[in-house]
């Protein structure tokens, strides 16, 4: 399918992440120009060299508005516009009883998983408004609507992010900017690899056995009985940010294998 986004400029934060980079791969194939950003870009630059596209790699700390503004300026200086923004930067945050997690841990998740999106929107919406066309997509999580008891810092920040993007969708549509979220669950990423490696050590089982027991005990809604793949999430994102997704606004698209055991978002 031709997504009709040839020559669009796409900015992706957290682009070293599997989902961010797989989306970059699809958008490159569709003829987009790319601005790929992460806090550390050495590996990102190596990966970007494998893509057939015009690419700018930018190091940016999304907890710093000045750094985010500088990232947007570099994108505009290089390409003259920003059309698509995919914000994937985030952390799992501290885990534990919600009342026993330190204030600093709550703040860290809030800064990186929620406020970073506010900063990126501030920096990039003016150019999209000026051009009368834009796509803004944030990665939330199943946790935003199906919170797990020991992940309060992450749950809260991701739920707030989903609400924030919904708020944006009401007014930004008049400027031609469509705002949506994508909610993955248990995807094959560095983040879940780390979770499963820790679980395998704690249980004294193999990595694959740790994944299998996690699916059975913690994610029974995933009827496919496997982790999702980053490219499966990227395919959904690519549709939403494309011209083909021109009537998708204010939505939360689940790419979770059925993990969320509810009808509504």
Over the stretch 169-188, which tens digit does the pLDDT of each residue have? 999 999 999 999 999 999 99
- Give the rounded distance of the alpha carbon of 128 from its chain centre: 19
Tokens of 1: 């399918």
- The pLDDT value recorded for residue 265 is 62
- Give the per-residue pLDDT at 17: 86
Residue 261 has a pLDDT of 87
Question: What was the pLDDT predicted at 130?
Answer: 98
The pLDDT value recorded for residue 263 is 82
Tell me: the pLDDT tens digits for 242-254? 999 999 999 999 9
| Model pLDDT, residue 16 | 92
| pTM, full prediction | 0.95
Q: Residue 242: left (phi > 0), alpha (psi -120 to 50), or beta?
A: beta
> 100 and 152 in contact (C-beta within 8 Å)?
no
Residues of the chain with pLDDT under 50: none
| The pLDDT value given to residue 51 | 97
Residues 6+ apart with CB under 8 A from 256: 142, 183, 184, 185, 186, 221, 222, 228
Closest CA to 113 of 138, 150, 85, 96: 138
């Amino acid at each position: 399918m031709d997504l009709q986004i040839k020559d669009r400029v796409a900015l992706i934060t957290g682009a070293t992440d599997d989902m961010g980079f797989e989306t970059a791969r699809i958008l490159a194939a569709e003829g987009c120009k790319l601005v790929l950003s992460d806090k550390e870009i050495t590996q990102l630059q190596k990966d970007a060299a494998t893509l057939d596209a015009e690419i700018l790699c930018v190091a940016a700390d999304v907890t710093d508005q000045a750094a985010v503004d500088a990232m947007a300026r570099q994108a505009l200086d290089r390409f003259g516009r920003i059309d698509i923004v995919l914000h994937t930067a985030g952390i799992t945050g501290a885990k534990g009883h919600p009342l026993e997690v330190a204030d600093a841990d709550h703040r860290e998740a809030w800064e990186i998983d929620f406020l970073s999106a506010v900063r990126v929107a501030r920096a990039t919406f003016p150019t999209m408004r000026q051009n009368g066309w834009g796509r803004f997509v944030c990665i939330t999580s199943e946790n935003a609507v199906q919170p797990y008891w020991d992940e309060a810092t992450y749950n809260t920040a991701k739920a707030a992010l989903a609400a924030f993007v919904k708020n944006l969708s009401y007014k930004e549509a008049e400027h031609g900017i469509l705002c949506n979220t994508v909610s993955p669950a248990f995807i094959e990423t560095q983040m879940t690899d780390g979770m499963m490696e820790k679980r395998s050590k704690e249980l004294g089982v193999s990595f694959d056995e740790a994944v299998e027991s996690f699916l059975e005990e913690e994610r029974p809604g995933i009827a496919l009985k496997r982790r999702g793949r980053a490219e499966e999430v990227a395919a959904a994102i690519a549709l939403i940010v494309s011209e083909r997704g021109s009537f998708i606004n204010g939505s939360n698209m689940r790419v979770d294998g059925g993990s969320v055991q509810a009808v509504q978002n």
